[in-house]
Amino acid sequence: MTSRIATYLLLLFVGIAAPAAAQTTVKGEQSVARMIVDRPSVAAKETLWVGLDIRMTPNWHSYWRTPGDSGLPTSIRWKLPEGFTAGEIQWPPPERVPTGDLMNFGYDEHVTLLVPMEITAQPGEVTLEADATWLVCADVCIPEDGHFSFPVNVVAQAGSPPGPDAQLIEAARASIPKKAAFPVQAKIDGANLVVTVPSGLPAGIKNAVLFPDGDGVISNAAPQEVKLNGDSLTLSIPLGATPPTKLAGVLVADGADGRVGYEIASDVGGAAGGSSVAAVDMTVWLALLFAVLGGLVLNVMPCVLPVLVMKALSVVSRGQDPAAMRRDAIIYTAGVMSAFTALVVVLLALRAAGDSIGWGFQLQNPIVVTVLANVMLVMGLSMSGVFNFGTSIAGVGQGLTQTSGGWGSYFTGVLAVVVAAPCTAPFMGPAIGYALTQSPIASIAVFEGLAIGLALPYLAIAFVPAFARALPRPGMWMERVKQILAFGLYGAAAWMVWVVSQQVAADGLALVFASLVVVAFAGWAYGVAPTAKHTPRWMVTAAIALLLAVGTIAGIEANAPSAARAESGAHIEPYSPERLAALRASGKPVLVNFTAAWCITCLVNERVALSKPEVQEAFRTSGVTFLKGDWTNRDASITAALRDLGRDGVPVYALYPANSGPQLLPQILTPGLVIEALKGVQVSAGATEPRS
C-alpha cells in the first residue's frame, strides 16, 4: 500500500512539474479543428500567421463575421506570452447558406481563419494558447469549442523554413478580401439598397454578391439583382429592418480567377420607402430652412408657449417704445442663440467622446429633470406673488439688473431654450438629423437656425410696427393672466416630477418631493425677508441655491432606475433591434413608436391618436405589430436606430411594411392619419410569428 501511494505521488509530481503537452487538434461532434502556423520558428519583427482550420462533416457549415439571419461567428481568445500581439481574424469570402426561409452567411464544410501575430519577443521557445468557440449547423446547430496550445521558437535570424501547413495558410491568405481599388457608391432607392461600381471593375467578372457588415442592412434571403456593363456593376437588393447611413462589407465577385472578395465602404444616400429616412441628401440651405420653420413651430408647442406668453406680457407692461422693444428683442434673441450654441457644443462633444445621445439628451438625466422641476416651481411661486425677481413679468433673470432690464431678456431667451428641449416640432427632425452628421460649423449653423425660428415672433413684434400696434394695452388683466400662467408652471413642474418617476426608484422620488418642499419654503422666506428684521436678503438667496442643490442631488444620485413603464395597450411590445429584425425576417409589418416620458409631443400623440380604440382596432385588423422604443433613459440601441432613420430626437414613428423599407409618419399624429397609414399594409405570404 505504501509503495502504491508513493507511486501515485511520484506520478502527480511529474504531471505538475512537466510542461503541458501541445494540443493542436480538437475533435467535436461534427467538426475537427486544428491550430496551425506557417512556420515553427520566427524572428522578432516578423509576422507569424496562425490559422484555425475547421473541417466539418459534409453538409454542415459555420459562420462569417456577420452570420446573416441566424448563427454566431467563430471567436478566438488568446493567452499569449510577452512579446506576442494577436491581430483580428482575417475572414475569407463567405457564401450564402440558405436554411428554410432564412439566409445565412458562412462556410460549407471547411474554412481556415487566419490571425496575424506580431513578434517582439526575445529568442527562445514559448507556448501560445487559445480558446476558440465555433458553431456548426445543418438541420440542428451544435456549439463546439476547444483549448489549443502549441510551441513557437523565437530565433535571432529571419528566414526560417516553412512548416508543413505553410501551403494551406498561403492559400487562405490569398483568399482574404483586399480593399477595393475601384470606387463604390451606395444609395437607398425606394425599398432597395443600390450599390454601384461606376468604373474600374476587374475584367472577367461574371457575377457579384454583397455581404454587408451589421444585422438588418439588407433582406438577406432576397435575390440580389446584378447588372454588369463592361467595368461597371450595379447591385439592387431589398432593404432590411435597419437601412444604413454608411455601408461596409465584402463584395464577392465570380471571375476568371475564381471567387474574389473586396472590402468596400461607402456613405449611403437617398431615402427608404419614399420618405426622408436618410438625411444625407439634404443640403445645408434646406436644413437651415427646416430649422427656422421648426423653431418657429416650437413657439406654439405646450412646453414653450407659457414662456412666449410671459414675454408678450413683458412687452405690454413696458409700453410700445420702439427703440426699447428692438433692443429687448435683440437681447432676447442673443439669449436664445447662445443657449442653442451651448447645447449643440455639449452634444457634439459628448458624441465625439463616444456617447450615444441625441436631441433632448439632457432630459435623460434625472438630476437635470429635477432641477427643471424646481425652476418651474420657483417661477410659478414668483408669478403667484409669493416673491418677485425684479420688476419684469418675464421671469427669474430680471433680478440680475434693476437698471436696463437686459439680463432679464437674455435669461428669458435661455429659459425658452431650456423648456423647449423636450419638444420636437415638425421640420425639426430632418434638420437635426442632418446637422449631427455634418461638420461642427454646419451643425452649429443649423441649430442657430432653430434659434432664429424660436425668437422670430418676438423679433417680428419688435421690428414690425403693425404687430406692435396690435398688442392690447396694459391693465389689471395682466396680473390675472400672470396668476393664471403660474398654474401652467405648476403643471410643468408636476410633469417634470412624473418624468423623474419614470427614471428613478421610489426612494429617489421621495427625496425629489422633499427638495420641492424645501425650495418652496426657501422661496417663501425670500419673499418675507424684506419685512423681517435682521435677515439680510442675500442670506436667503444663498439658502435657496444651497438647499436646491443639496435637495436635488441627494434625491437622485444614489437611486437605481425604476422599472420600465407600463404600456397603455396589450398589443404594444417593447422595442429591441432583435425583435424588429425577427419580425421583419418573418414578413410581418411593424410600426415602431420611438418616444420618451419627457417628450410632450410624444405623450400628446399617444393620448389623442395611438391609444384610441379605433387605432388599436386598425393595428389588429392590419396585422401590424406595434413596438415602443422608450428613450426616457439613455439607450444606445434606440439612439443608433434613430440615427439610421436620419433622426436625433423623438417623437419618431417608423412604419415598416412587409418586404420594404421604413416610412416615417408625421410628428403630429391624428387617429385618421394613423389608420390611413395602416391601410393596405399586409402581412407577407407565408409569414409566421417569430419567437421572441
Q: Give me the pLDDT at residue 485, please.
A: 74
As a whole number, mean pLDDT of residues 300-307 equals: 63
The fraction of the chain above a pLDDT of 70, given in percent, is 73
Domains of the chain: total: 4
Q: Which residues of 244-279 are buried (b: 16+ CB within 10 A; e: fewer)?
A: bbebebbbbbeeeeeebbbbbebebebbbbebbbbb
The amino acid present at 316, given as its one-letter code, is V
Tell me if 522 sits within 8 A of 386, measured CB to CB.
no
pLDDT band at 249 (very low <50, low <70, confident <90, very high): very high
Question: Which domain covers residue 209, as residue numbers?
Answer: 179-272
Q: Given 426, 441, 474, which residue is the final one in a domain?
A: 474
C-alpha–C-alpha distance, residues 181 and 155, integer Å: 37
Residue 526 domain-assigned (yes or no):
no
Judgement on whether residues 580 and 645 belong to the same structural domain of the protein: yes
Say yes or no: 249 and 311 in one domain. no
Cell of 689: 410569428
Whether the upstream peptide bond of residue 651 has omega within 30° of 0, thus cis, is yes
The arithmetic mean of pLDDT across residues 178-204, rounded, is 87
| Whole-angstrom distance, CA of residue 575 vs CA of residue 630 | 8
Domain shared by 288 and 418, yes or no = yes
Considering the chain, what is the average pLDDT of its residues? 77
pLDDT of 61 reads 92
Running DSSP on this structure, what letter comes out for residue 279?
G
Q: Are both 116 and 256 inside the same structural domain?
A: no
pLDDT at 635 over 60: yes
pLDDT confidence tier of residue 398, bands split at 50, 70 and 90: very low
Compute the average pLDDT of residues 191-195.
88
- Residue 62 in grid coordinates: 459555420
Instruction: Say whether both 163 and 245 belong to one domain.
Output: no
pLDDT attached to residue 402: 33
Last residue of a domain, one of 252, 272, 292: 272
Element (H, E) at 678: helix 671-678
Looking at the structure, tell me whether residues 303 and 434 fall in a common domain: yes
Q: Is the pLDDT of residue 626 over 70?
A: yes
Is the predicted pLDDT of residue 682 greater than 80, yes or no?
no
Let me know whether 205 and 141 are in one domain: no
288 and 256 co-located in one domain: no
Last residue of a domain, one of 146, 176, 206: 176
Identify the pLDDT of residue 1: 42
Same domain, 32 and 111: yes
Distance from C-alpha of 46 to C-alpha of 375, rounded to nearest angstrom: 64
Assess whether pLDDT exceeds 90 at residue 81: yes
Shared domain for 305 and 449, answered yes or no, is yes
502 belongs to a structural domain: no
Report the range of poorest mean pLDDT among 113-127, 176-190, 309-323, 573-587.
309-323
Nearest partner of 284 among 426, 445, 440, 429, judged by Cα: 445
**Residues 469 and 586 placed together within one structural domain of the fold:** no
Same domain, 37 and 150: yes
pLDDT at residue 258 above 60? yes
**Does residue 499 belong to any structural domain of this protein?**
no
Mean pLDDT comparison of 2-6, 49-53, 256-260, 363-367, highest-scoring range: 49-53
